[in-house]
Amino acid sequence: MDLSSINRSKQDKIFDFFNIALLTLLLIAVMYPLYFVIIASISNPDRIFAGDVWLFPRDITFEGYIRIFQDGKIWTGYKNTIIYTTLGTALNIALTLTAAYALSRQDFYGRTFFMVMFIFTMFFSGGLIPTYLVVKDLGMVNTMWALIIPKAVAVWNIIVARTFFQATIPNEMHEAAKVDGCSNTKFFLKIVLPLSKPIIAVMVLFYAVSHWNSYFDALIYLNDESLYPLQMVLRNILIQNEAAASMVGDLDSFAAQQRIAELIKYGVIIVGSLPLLIVYPFIQKYFVQGVMIGGIKG
């Protein structure tokens, strides 16, 4: 029987109409702010202040982007952020998946105790000062490792990955592999990981976004500007331009500097967000599947 041939009732059509209308409004509410930032970053700030920029850019100018990329530190920031994101995410994935898989195994002795200890850290921590003292005593202050090691594992991600393993990797599969002489390590590398692409994509996205957007740790632990991540560099550029505008005495010069600061403000948002916006569509299908399985089942 062809379900498409069934006549839909009037109530069904009304329900679909309101669903589509609601989702359309939500889509506009989510997408328009990003679109506005894009067109505002290339529009004349005077037209923005006048309320003329709604759907299309006005008096297109790329002066904000030119000012941003004229600062050579921006490329150093990009390089550092790529290094931090790559190394940090690789370490995060390695530790999270191995810990989650071990905690998902029913034959792992003491897994309840370790899980309780992990969860305990979600609600109680030493705070900023003790954490800084630990990082300092380990000799990681003003090094790249201060942005990677302290955030090596997120407990919530371990819980999500553990739930995924419990829902998708049955114990019977491990028992069958064990009968064939497969070790625990080989089973994890050859069987578990290939079946875990959705949750790996989810973890990569979670951790990569966290590393890419991080600036607070750099603000606390780094003094060397050559080690600053992109977000820290963009923050400094924005602050410097706002400070320069506030120190100008002449009214016309102040207005001009204020317009440049406004363009830079929108420009740094695009420069900092664009790489992640480009990458996300390629892992979206794995992201949805992994979140659904890891967050609901089990």
Name the pTM for this structure: 0.77
Position 25 pLDDT exceeds 90: yes
- Per the structure block, which two tokens stand in for 239? 């602050």
Mean pLDDT of the chain: 82
What count of residues does the chain have? 298
Lowest mean pLDDT among 11-15, 226-230, 292-296: 292-296
pLDDT in tens, 38-47: 888 888 887 8
Q: Where are the domains of the chain?
A: 62-298
Lowest mean pLDDT among 63-67, 131-135, 282-286: 282-286
Q: Ranked by mean pLDDT, which of 82-91, 98-107, 216-225 comes out on top?
A: 82-91
∠175-177-182 over CA atoms, to 5°?
120
**Confidence label for 22 from pLDDT (cuts 50, 70 and 90):** very high
Distance (Å, whole) CA 185 – CA 205: 25
Q: Is the dihedral of CA 199, 205, 206, 208 positive or negative?
A: positive
Number of Cβ atoms within 10 Å of the Cβ of 161 = 26
**If you average pLDDT over residues 83-108, what whole number do you get?**
91
Which pairs count as long-range contacts for 202-205, CB under 8 Å and 24+ apart, including other chains?
Answer: 202/160, 202/286, 202/287, 202/290, 202/291, 202/294, 203/92, 203/93, 203/96, 203/97, 203/157, 203/160, 203/161, 203/290, 204/89, 204/93, 204/283, 205/280, 205/283, 205/287
Distance (Å, whole) CA 228 – CA 217: 10
**If you average pLDDT over residues 179-185, what whole number do you get?**
82
Lowest mean pLDDT among 170-184, 217-231, 254-268: 254-268
Give residue 241's pLDDT.
66
The CATH T-level fold of domain 62-298 is MetI-like fold (1.10.3720)
Position 261 pLDDT exceeds 80: no
Cβ atoms of residues 132 and 220 within 8 Å: yes
Position 37 pLDDT exceeds 70: yes
Position 189 pLDDT exceeds 70: yes
For 295, list phi and psi in degrees, rounded to 5: -100, -15
pLDDT in tens, 142-152: 999 999 998 89
For 138, list phi and psi in degrees, rounded to 5: -80, 0
Whose CA is closest to 262, among 59, 36, 45, 50?
A: 45
Give residue 254's pLDDT.
64
∠127-200-102 over CA atoms, to 5°?
70
Position 290 pLDDT exceeds 70: no
Position 262 pLDDT exceeds 90: no
